[in-house]
Structure 1
Amino acid sequence: MRAVQAAVGEATFVFRSDVKSYYASINHECLLGLLRDMIASPVVLDLVRGYLQHLVDEDGALRQIDLGISLGSPLSPLIGGVYLKPLDDAMTNTGWFYARFMDDWVVLAPSRGPLRGAMKQANEVLESLKVEKHPDKTFIGRVSRGFEFMGYRFD
C-alpha cells in the first residue's frame, strides 16, 4: 500500500478493477497452459490436472467441471495468484504504475494516453484468460477524485 500511496502523488489518472467471480471463472484449460510454461515436472502437472478435473453430480448425472476452483482448497491462493501472471507481465515496464493482489489491481498513469494503453492491455489479457472485469468494481477517472483499493481509500 505504501507503493500505491507513493505513486498517487505522481499520477493524474487511475484505473482500478477486479475480475468478476474470479475463482468461479478460472478456466482450467488456460490455467494448465500457464502452468505448463512454469512447471517442468509432468508429475506435478498431472497432480494439478487431477485436482482440477473432478466430477459433480447434477440431478443424478456426473459432469466434469472445466471452470472454477474451490475457494476452500489450500491450492486456491496459489492458483489465484498465478492465473493473472499474464496481466502482471503485460503491465511491467510500461510507463504507468501497476499493483495487483489476487484479482484486484490498480493502474496509476500520468496522462490519458498511458491509461488507455493500460486498459487495452488489461482487456486483451483478460479476454485471453476468458475472464471479465467486474463492472461494479471498476473505476476509471482522476486520482484527485479519490479511489479505493484493497480496503484503503486514496485521495
Structure 2
Amino acid sequence: FDPQFSEASFGFRPGRRAHDAVRKARQYVEEGYEWAVDLDIEKFFDRVNHDILMARVARKVKDKRVLTLIRRYLQAGVMINGVVMETTEGTPQGGPLSPLLANILLDELDKELEKRGHKFVRYADDCNIYVKSKRAGERVMESIRKFLRERLKLKINEQKSAVDRPWKLKFLGFSMHKAKEGRILIRLAPQTIERLKTKIREITARNKPVSITERIERLNTYLGGWMGYFALAETPSVFKDLDGWMRRRLRMCLWKQWKRVRTRYRELLALGLPERVVHEFANARKGPWRMAHGPMNRALGNAYWQSQGLTSLIERYQTLRQAW
C-alpha cells in the first residue's frame, strides 16, 4: 500500500514524520497560500465504516484468509468494566494495524484533493488544505464535507474545523508567525504552551511534599522528550519566557518549604542577600508566588538552578538546533 500513498500524507509512514508535514505546510504558506482549511474528522478512529474500509483493502489484498483476519481484528470488540462490547464501526485505538488502515481509507481523500489540484498536508486524520482566499477555503470546506459524508461515511467536527489564517490555527502542535519582513516562521501553538504549563504546574504544585531535587529530575525527564519534538519552532524567545516562569514556580516551591521565619532568614542569608533585605523578606506576609519574584529572583537566578541540575529549555533548544 505505502508506495502508492500520496506524497502529502506523512502520518505513520516509514521515513516520514510530523516535522516534515509542518515544514511542507510552511512551504505552501510561503508560496502565497495564506488561508488554511483545517479539517477535523469527528471521532475518526471510532467511526470508520468497516464495509467501506474492507472494500478499499480488498482492492489490493486478494487472499481471502487475510481479509477475514482483518475483519475479525476490526470486530474483535472492546472490554468495558469486564464486559466485552461488540464493535460494528471504528478501528482499535492503539492497535498496530489501525494507522495503516486509517491511511488506506483516507488515501481516497488524498487522491480526491490531488485530482482537484489542491495544496494539502495530512498527518493521519489531521488534514490542512492551503488556498489563496477565504472564499476559496469555504468552498473547499463545503465540497470536502460532502465528499467525506457520501463517499467515506465520515463527518467533519464543525466545532474543531475552520477556515482561517495559518497563524491562527494549530497543526500538529505548531502554528505559524508572519514576521515583519514577510518570512513565515514556525512557532508553538498557544494550546501547546498552555499544555506545557499545565504539566509544569503539576510537577511544581506547592501542596505536594516533594523535594526540589525530585521536582528538577521530573522536569528534566519530561522537558527532554518535549523539546525533542518542539525544537522545530523558530521563536526561541518563547522558550526564554517559559524558562523564567518555570524558575519562578520552583522558587515558589522553595519558599513554601521554608515555612518558619527562622528558616527563611537562614536560607536567604546563605544565598548572599543583604541582612536588611533578608529581615524584610523573611517577615513578609505575601503569598509564595509573589515572594518568588524580586530579591529571591536575583538570589536564585539561572546559575543557581543550573548548579541544582536544571537544564533550561533554551539550552536544550540551542543544543538540538545545532545538531540538526
RMSD after superposition: 2.6
- Bigger relative contact order, structure 1 or 2, given CA contacts below 8 A and separation 6+? 1
> Whole-Å Cα distance in 2 between the matches of residues 66 and 136 of structure 1?
26
Residue 26 (structure 2) pairs with residue 5 (structure 1): yes
Residue 146 (structure 2) pairs with residue 124 (structure 1): yes
Percent identity between matched residues is: 24
Task: Give yes or no for contact 2:78–2:84 (8 Å, CA) kept in 1.
Answer: yes
Residue equivalent to 1:149: 171
Q: Aligned pair in 2 of structure 1 residues 142, 40: CA closer, same or farther (>3 Å)?
A: same
Deviation of the 1:116 alpha carbon: 4.3
Residue equivalent to 1:108: 130
Q: Aligned pair in 2 of structure 1 residues 95, 113: CA closer, same or farther (>3 Å)?
A: farther
**3-state SS, counterpart of residue 87 of structure 1:** helix
**3-state SS, counterpart of residue 170 of structure 2:** strand
Runs of 4+ off more than 4 Å: 55-58, 61-64
> Whole-Å Cα distance in 2 between the matches of residues 88 and 45 of structure 1?
23
Deviation of the 1:28 alpha carbon: 0.7
**3-state SS, counterpart of residue 84 of structure 1:** helix
Deviation of the 1:32 alpha carbon: 0.8
Residue equivalent to 1:50: 72
* TM-score, with length taken from structure 1: 0.83
> Whole-Å Cα distance in 2 between the matches of residues 147 and 18 of structure 1?
12
Residue equivalent to 2:6: none
Q: Aligned pair in 2 of structure 1 residues 4, 81: CA closer, same or farther (>3 Å)?
A: same
Residue equivalent to 2:49: 27
Q: What is the number of residues matched between the two proteins?
A: 154
Which has the larger helix fraction? 2
**3-state SS, counterpart of residue 95 of structure 1:** coil
Residue equivalent to 1:74: 96
Task: Give yes or no for contact 1:14–1:109 (8 Å, CA) kept in 2.
Answer: yes
* TM-score, with length taken from structure 2: 0.43
> Whole-Å Cα distance in 1 between the matches of residues 113 and 78 of structure 2?
37
> Whole-Å Cα distance in 1 between the matches of residues 78 and 159 of structure 2?
30
> Whole-Å Cα distance in 2 between the matches of residues 4 and 78 of structure 1?
22
Which has the larger strand fraction? 1
Residue equivalent to 1:37: 59
> Whole-Å Cα distance in 1 between the matches of residues 101 and 156 of structure 2?
18
What does the per-residue CA deviation read over 1:17-46, in whole Å, with 9 as the maximum and x for residues that have no partner?
A: 221111111111111111112322222211
Residue equivalent to 1:136: 159
What stretches of structure 2 of length at least 5 have no aligned partner?
1-21, 178-324
Deviation of the 1:113 alpha carbon: 5.9
What stretches of structure 1 of length at least 5 have no aligned partner?
none
